[in-house]
Amino acid sequence: MIKAENVKKVFGPVTVLEDVNLTVNPGEVVSILGSSGSGKSTLIRCINGLERLDGGKITVDDFDVSKPRELAEARKRSGTVFQLFNLYPHMTAVENVTLAPIEVLKRPKAEAEKEARALLASVGLSERADAYPAQLSGGQRQRVGICRALAMKPRYLLLDEVTSALDPEMTAEVLNILAKLAEEGTTMVFVTHEIEFARQISDRVVFLEKGRLVVDLPTEQFFAEDGGMANPRVAQFLSKMRKD
Amino acid sequence: MRYTDFTPFDLVLLAQGLGVTIGLFLATTVIGLFIGTALAVIRFYRVPVLTQVVTFITELLKNSPVLVQLFLVFFGLPAFLRINVTPVEAAVITMSGNTAAFIYVIAVSAIESIGRDQIEAARVFGLTRWQVLRHIIAPQATAFAIGPLTGLLVNQLQVTSLISVIGVMDLTKIGNTLNLRTLQPFIVWAVVGVLYYLCAKLIAWLGSRLETRLRAHTAWKGL
Amino acid sequence: MRLDLSILVPHLGFLAEGALLTAQACGLALIGSLIMGALVAIARTSSSRAIRGVAFAYVDLFRNVPFIVQLFFFYYGLPELGIYIDAFTTGVISLSIAGGAFASDVIRSGILAIDPGIIEAAEVSGLSRRKTFTRIVLPIALRTSVRPLGSVFINLILTSSILSTITLNELTGTAKIVASDTFKPFEVYVVLLVVYAALTYLVSILIGLLHKRLNRDLVEGAVA
């Protein structure tokens, strides 16, 4: 279980997150929506320990991410996929995927590589397994990014606007994979601009507004006229996103 | 007093050595600047054959050890041309030539930093190549070159230390003398090192001041 | 006044020995410089002010004092401390320390140029700081810095001629002996000059090839 309690994050004079409470149970798919600058990505970065909290507490399976010793454990349980892929440019797709399993989980190299190739094959990249990131298209890179996160067998997958750097065709490639993962019961927290997609695969949708978590509802209710849409901010946001 | 003790006169020796180092550095810098710039102008005028020869020689000078160049001038030239070359003459010739080679490279890239379009525009207005060089290129190229030039001179000051090897009584040679006499290499070489360090810092400081001043003329001053 | 290079022929073997010593000294000093350079580059990005200060002082000092002074400091100074090492070792150490000062600047800017997102990716995947540095940061920084590091290496080769002043018979040292044996210093030093220039030219070509090879995968859209 990922649990955020009264989370606060400040960048200089700007309060980016304020009093955020969120619980993600195993098996759940939770989408985080909100306009740019609402603190969605920062929340993800707080969960994986890339940002230090200025208040409150986040635990991943009861491991407190603010405590250095526990952060390592917390990180083993979650995998992150980034907006700009952040692949290691000097390593092939397979090497990108196997690095952490070999170095962190101390898996035997041959075994890790076999699994990595299977993972890459499952996202349609068996032919490109030995290519370097620069030789791959954006969609292919993001698929490698997803495999890299999955290779650690995380209990939770954190996805930070993973399709916003991709064109529609490549976005579809990546979303298909995420849909498949959701079907298989992977726990996911994802920040996204793909409203329709979020609606299809999420169990719950939360809405951030100026650093505050203002709506947290099951997907059906979130999109219902008398549910989330009753909140004028949410309605405004959804209509704006749909127009774009 | 033991023979190996430091004496107040050692300070005079050090000052003399420093004077020789600085004097040689300044003289060869001026000569090198003059020759290097002249060579760059030859290239600017695209003088056939001469341009290729200049490029070849400067490459040779840039890519070989100064020590070897120094030996060639000091030991080689007298034997080959049957002339007399004193250590100081050899030092001046070698250092000037070496500095010129590097200044040539800086000058060429400074000239090339100025857009072809500017030069062509000026030529269209009927300015001669020389006028273009004098009024359009030189002022801008100088501002461009100050940074790399400062770096070069800091380096060339250090290179002058090699002339001690052929017996010029510069700072390093004085260091050698004191080292042999006092047998206290740590102190001697630390002091010599500090003196070089301070000179290098002085050059860098002067360079950056000059750069700010030159930039001030060309920079947008605001309202 | 005739340039007769045939007088060198009987001495070629001896000169080759010197060249070999130069190659050995430069090869070892290159490794030393890279290690020093990497360590100092890490120190300069350290969170401790004291460590950063020491690293900066090292670079500043060794870049602004003539190599020959550094060399004499170690060659004559170390025995004063009771450390007796031969001229070759002293030379390699001195070259490594001086080269390290230049290499650290190159490696440091290579490190600073790395996309922070890549380092974050390594961090969240659980890699330790040390592993992140050795497996991700350093390899990327070294690859992108091949050319400027090559210039440092070429300077190392040219600077190694100064080792002849501490009785080391490397290329310049052997040439000095040949020059005085044959009474033909002009011929000897002309050839020596050209040999060094050719050597550094060759090295710069090799560096260009190495750069291409190491960075072939980093080129955007190399294979579609």
Do the domain assignments include residue C224? no
Give the tokens for residue B49. 């054959």
Does pLDDT of B221 surpass 80? no
Residues of B in contact with C66 (CB under 8 A): 158-162, 172, 196
Instruction: Reply yes or no on whether the pLDDT at B5 is more than 80.
Output: no
Task: Report the candidate in C92, C104, C100, C97 with the shortest Cα–Cα distance to residue C28.
Answer: C92
The domain that contains C152 carries what CATH number?
Answer: 1.10.3720.10
- Residue C223 domain-assigned? no
Give yes or no for residue B212 having a pLDDT over 90. no
Task: For residue B32, give every residue at least 6 positions away whose Cβ sits within 8 Å of its Cβ, in sequence order, or none.
Answer: B95, B96, B97, B98, B99, B100, B102, B103, B156
Confidence of residue C222 (pLDDT cuts 50, 70, 90): very low
Q: How far apart are CA B116 and CA B121, in angstroms?
A: 8
Which one has a higher pLDDT value, B132 or C109?
C109
pLDDT at site C215: 80
Does B3 reside within a domain?
A: no
Q: Does B6 reside within a domain? A: no
Chain B residues in contact with C90 by the CB 8 A cut-off are: none
* Strands A212-218 and A204-209, sheet pairing: antiparallel
Q: Which residue of A has its CA nearest to C125?
A: A100
Residue to mutate among A88, A127, A130, with most C CBs inside 10 A, is: A88
- For residue C83, being part of any structural domain is answered with yes
Cβ pair B65:C184 closer than 8 A: no
DSSP per position, A175-234: HHHHHHHHHTT-EEEEE-S-HHHHHHH-SEEEEEETTEEEEEEEHHHHTSTTTGGGSHHH
Of the candidates C122, C131, C218, the beta carbon closest to that of A89 is on: C218
The pLDDT of residue C67 is 97
Q: Does B202 reside within a domain?
A: yes
Number of domains in chain C: 1
pTM for the full predicted model: 0.84
Residue C220 has pLDDT above 80, yes or no: no
Q: What is the pLDDT of residue C224?
A: 37
Closest Cα in chain A to C119: A86
Query: Across the interface, do A134 and C120 touch by the CB < 8 Å criterion?
Result: no
Residue type, C33: S
Is position C10 within any domain?
A: yes
The phi, psi pair for B107, rounded to 5°, reads -65, -40
Q: Is A10 exposed, middle or buried (0-12, 13-18, 19+ CB in 10 A)?
A: middle
How many angstroms separate the CA of residue A134 from the nearest CA in chain C?
5
**Could you report the per-residue pLDDT of C136-189, keeping only the tens digit for each?**
999 999 998 999 999 999 999 999 999 999 999 999 999 999 999 998 899 999
Query: Range of B150's domain?
Result: 16-218
- Give the pLDDT confidence of B34-75 residue by residue, as tens digits: 999 999 988 888 888 999 999 999 999 999 999 999 999 999
- Say yes or no for a CB contact (<8 Å) between B79 and C186: yes
Q: Rounding to the nearest 10 degrees, give the CA dihedral for residues C172, C177, C180, C183.
A: -80
Q: CA A100 to CA A127: how far, in whole Å? A: 22
Helix, strand or coil for residue A155? coil
Distance from CA of B138 to the nearest CA of C (A): 29
Which residues, at least 6 apart from B186, have a Cβ–Cβ distance to it below 8 Å?
C73, C77, C80, C81
**Residues on chain C touching A133 (C-beta within 8 angstroms):** 217
State which residues form the domain around C194: 5-214
Averaged pLDDT of chain B: 89
The reply to whether B42 falls in a domain is yes
Q: Which of C73, C185, C192 sits opposite B185 (nearest CB)?
A: C73
What are phi and psi for residue C143, nearest 5 degrees?
-60, -50
Residue in A49, A76, A88 nearest the CB of C118 = A88
How distant is the Cα of C153 from the closest Cα of chain A, in angstroms?
Answer: 23
A200 vs A178: CA distance, rounded Å: 11
Residue B181: count of CB within 10 angstroms of its CB? 15
C196 part of a folded domain:
yes
Domains of chain A as residue ranges with CATH:
2-81+155-243 (3.40.50.300)
- Low-confidence stretches of chain A (pLDDT < 70) are 244
Long-range contacts, stretch C53-61, CB < 8 angstroms, 24+ apart: C55/C104, C58/C101, C59/C101, C59/C104, C59/C105, C61/B193, C61/B197, C61/C101
> Is B80 contained in some domain?
yes
User: Rounded to an integer, what distance in angstroms lies between the CA atom of residue C112 and that of residue A126?
Assistant: 34
Chain C residues whose CB is inside 8 A of the B202 CB are: none
Q: Is the dihedral of CA A226, A227, A231, A234 positive or negative?
A: negative
**The domain that contains B148 carries what CATH number?**
1.10.3720.10
**Residues of B (12-41) whose Cβ lies below 8 Å from C:** none
Q: Do C120 and A88 touch (CB under 8 A)?
A: no
What is the C-alpha separation between B193 and B198, in angstroms, rounded? 9
Which residue among A50, A78, A87 places its CB closest to the CB of C123? A50
pLDDT(B10) > 90 = no
What are the pLDDT digits (tens) for B88-142?
A: 999 999 999 999 999 999 999 988 888 778 888 888 888 888 888 888 888 888 8
What's the pLDDT score for residue A80? 94
Instruction: Tell me which residue of B177, B206, B207 sits closest to B191, measured CA to CA.
Output: B177
Q: How many domains, chain B? A: 1
- Are the Cβ atoms of C184 and B79 closer than 8 angstroms? yes
CA pair distance B182, A3, nearest whole angstrom: 73
C141, closest residue in chain A (CA to CA): A90
Q: How many CB pairs under 8 A join A and C?
A: 78
Is residue C219 in a domain?
no
Could you tell me which chains touch chain C, where touching means 3 or more CB pairs under 8 A?
Answer: A, B
pLDDT of residue C218: 66
pLDDT computed for residue B223 by the predictor: 46
Give B-chain residues touching C201 at CB under 8 angstroms: 63
Compute the nearest-CA separation of A186 from chain C (Å). 18
pLDDT digits over C5-48, tens only? Answer: 888 888 899 999 999 999 999 999 999 999 999 999 999 988 89
Rounded to a whole number of angstroms, the distance from the CA of A243 to the nearest CA of chain C is 31
Residue B126 domain flag: yes
* Chain C residue with minimum CA distance to A49: C124
Give the mean model confidence (pLDDT) for residues B147-168: 94
Tell if the CB–CB gap between B161 and C66 is shorter than 8 Å.
Answer: yes
Question: Average pLDDT in the C94-119 region?
Answer: 94
**Among C143, C158, C206, residue whose Cα is nearest residue C25:** C158
Q: Which of A76, A82, A90 sits opposite C117 (nearest CB)?
A: A82
In this model, does residue B167 exceed pLDDT 50?
A: yes
Phi, psi of B31 (to 5 degrees): -60, -45
Chain B and chain A touch, per 3+ beta carbon pairs within 8 A: no
The answer to whether A136 touches A93, Cβ cutoff 8 Å, is yes
Residue B7 lies in a domain: no
Q: Which residue has the higher pLDDT, A168 or B194?
A: B194
Task: Judge contact between C143 and C210, C-beta under 8 A.
Answer: no
Alpha helix locations (H) across chain B? 8-44, 50-62, 66-71, 77-81, 87-112, 116-124, 129-131, 138-159, 171-182, 185-218
Position A7 scores a pLDDT of: 93
User: Which residues in A lie closer than 8 A to residue C219 (C-beta atoms)?
Assistant: 134
Question: Helix/strand/coil (H, E, C) string of C132-143?
Answer: HHHHHHHHHHHH
C89 found inside a domain: yes
- Between CA C104 and CA A155 the distance in angstroms is 41
Residue C116 contacts A where some CB pair is shorter than 8 Å: no
State the pairing for strand pair A212-218/A29-33: unpaired
Shortest Cα distance, chain A CAs vs residue C151, angstroms: 23
Q: Considering the domain boundaries, does residue B99 fall inside one?
A: yes
**Chain A touched by C47 (CB under 8 Å):** no
Q: What pLDDT is recorded for position A244? A: 65
Do B76 and C190 make contact, defined as CB atoms within 8 angstroms? yes
Selected residue of A44, A51, A85, A86 to mutate for chain C interface (largest C Cβ count, 10 A): A86
